[in-house]
Amino acid sequence: MPADPNQNTLTPKSNYDQITIAEATIIQKDLQKHLNLNPHDKPVTTIAGADISLSLYSETVYAGMVVLSFPDLQPIAYSLVKSSTIFPYVPGYLAFREIPALLQVYEQIPLKPDLIMFDGNGILHARRMGIASHFGVLTGTVTLGCAKKKLAGKYEIPGENKGDYSPVIDKGETIGYALRSKLNVKPVYISPGNNMSLQDSMDITMQCIGKYRLPEPTRRAHEFVNLFRTGQLEEGYHEIKGTTLFD
């Protein structure tokens, strides 16, 4: 793989629908070599939540990112794209179905967010290459994952109180955390994607937890994508009225 992963000949937009699972595995292992899990030491004033809506056997992808101010977590802009994919539904490889559309979503945003939280895993993945890590390495962005399902590792059940967590361990390595984000609900799974540490991923997520199970960035992204899917929002990039950050 070239030193710059963005120059990979298997580019997401043009080739992901044509590759095999074996080729996808090679791509994941190559991207893993470019992961950066060093602490993030730059200020964060904006955070985006990223999500997609895609039925199990559908080729149509509804993808979106919602940009929020940080740390007050007020939505200030959103980007939405309708796309398609024929890459098969295979656990551990869902990024190949979702990333091409999310790259289009990201490219529409004129002022990029400081970091992106994905509704999916980062390094909490058998090959350390969940969607947050995959996207982060491809784009050189700061990313983390907040997933509803665990793709790898084992953990002890965290306490029942909001904020309780336990490490997820795989082959002797901590690859994320099971976090109780709300009293008496199933945990969510937190892990760094790229350009941040394990501790960063937990610290940022804790600042994004409100009264719901999902952190505000991915919860709002899920909300906006569903509004888009049902025809209540239009495709494209839109700033939300009443904000001044982009003036």
Element (H, E) at 178: strand 173-179
In the prediction, which pLDDT does 247 show?
Answer: 38
For the chain, the domains span 5-239
CATH of 5-239, one of 3.40.50.2300, 3.30.2170.10, 1.10.357.10, 3.40.50.1860: 3.30.2170.10
In the prediction, which pLDDT does 91 show?
Answer: 87
Whether the Cβ atoms of residue 176 and residue 126 lie closer than 8 Å to each other: no
DSSP state of 50: E
Look-up: residue for tokens 């940009």?
A: 67
In the prediction, which pLDDT does 4 show?
Answer: 43
Tens digit of pLDDT at every position of the chain (247 positions) = 333 444 443 445 457 888 899 999 999 999 999 999 999 999 999 999 999 987 767 788 899 999 999 999 999 999 999 998 888 888 899 899 899 999 999 999 999 999 999 999 999 999 999 999 999 999 999 999 999 988 899 999 999 888 899 999 999 999 999 999 888 889 999 999 999 999 999 999 999 998 889 999 999 999 999 999 999 999 999 999 765 444 3
Give pTM, 2 decimals. Answer: 0.90
Whether the Cβ atoms of residue 174 and residue 198 lie closer than 8 Å to each other: yes
Q: For residue range 92-111, list pLDDT tens digits in order.
A: 998 998 999 999 999 999 99
In the prediction, which pLDDT does 183 show?
Answer: 83
Straight-line distance from the first to the last Cα atom of the chain, in angstroms, rounded to the nearest whole number: 41
In the prediction, which pLDDT does 56 show?
Answer: 67
Whether the Cβ atoms of residue 128 and residue 35 lie closer than 8 Å to each other: yes
CA 118 from centre of chain: 2
Length of the chain as a residue count: 247
As given in the structure block, the two tokens for residue 62 are 């509804």
